[in-house]
């Protein structure tokens, strides 16, 4: 038996995939390699329903916070939300948006605008329009959604650039309105990382801390 054949037989036998040693005079064959590959294949676990998802950052957590349907909403197919579920989720989203809208003391959105926003946000996916310009220095988060609600063409590709404070954008959208007709609502946490650029690979190298001097 060749050395390679011996190794193959030993591995296959240890995994319970070999019941009989091949002829010692025969070299390893394609079937031997295939059997070895199959025996080495990792066991893929069966995935359960999603526990959480993040299409538009923090929209699910903020709008569905404290609701009894958040788990069911997270388990939905993002691109095929059930009709019954969608109606329930939109009703909850409308209620939450109406509640947040009063936080600044002004009812910024009409009932029709709130309903339109809820219908848009129920599909939790980050929307990117590649026909529009993308720039890391432009606030593109919710730009496509904002333009859709206003019935105009978006000015940027949307999505979420590395430099963008998406939390401020979400807080502003739910408090002042997704059309951003009022001041920006901020959590007052500013960017602490390096500013990304439009050149590949976009993000700056990681910041390496200087080790303390030797005692």
Question: Which tens digit of pLDDT belongs to each residue from 121-176?
Answer: 898 888 899 999 888 877 788 889 989 988 999 988 998 888 888 888 888 888 88
User: What are the percentages of helix, strand and coil residues in the chain, rounded to 5?
Assistant: 40, 0, 60
Residues with pLDDT less than 50, the chain: 3-9, 11-13, 15-16, 18-19, 21
Q: Which residues neighbour 204 within 8 Å (Cβ) at sequence distance 6 or greater?
A: 193, 194, 195, 196, 197
Q: What was the pLDDT predicted at 4?
A: 47
Contact 55, 125 (CB under 8 A): yes
Q: pTM higher than 0.75 for the full model?
A: no
Rounded Cα–Cα distance for residues 139 and 23 (Å): 69
* Residue for token pair 């957590």: 61
Give residue 9's pLDDT.
47
- Amino acid 215: pLDDT: 66
Token pair of 142, please?
Answer: 């919710």
């Amino acid at each position: 038996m060749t050395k390679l054949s011996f190794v193959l037989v030993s591995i296959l036998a240890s995994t319970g995939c070999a019941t009989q040693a091949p002829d010692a005079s025969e070299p390893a064959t394609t079937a031997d390699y295939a059997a070895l590959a199959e025996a080495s294949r990792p066991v893929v676990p069966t995935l359960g329903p999603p526990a959480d998802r993040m299409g538009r950052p923090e929209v699910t957590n903020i709008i569905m916070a404290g609701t009894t349907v958040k788990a069911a909403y997270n388990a939905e197919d993002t691109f095929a939300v059930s009709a019954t579920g969608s109606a329930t989720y939109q009703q909850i989203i409308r209620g939450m948006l109406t509640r947040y809208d009063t936080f600044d003391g002004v009812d910024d959105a009409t009932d029709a605008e709130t309903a339109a926003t809820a219908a848009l946000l129920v599909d939790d996916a980050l929307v990117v329009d590649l026909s529009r310009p993308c720039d890391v220095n432009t606030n593109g988060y919710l730009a496509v959604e904002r333009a859709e609600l206003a019935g105009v063409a978006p000015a940027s590709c949307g999505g979420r650039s590395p430099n963008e404070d998406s939390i401020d954008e979400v807080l502003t959208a739910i408090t002042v309105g997704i059309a951003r007709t009022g001041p920006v609502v901020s959590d007052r946490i500013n960017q602490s990382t390096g500013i990304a650029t439009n050149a590949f690979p976009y993000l700056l190298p990681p910041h390496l801390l200087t080790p303390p001097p030797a005692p």
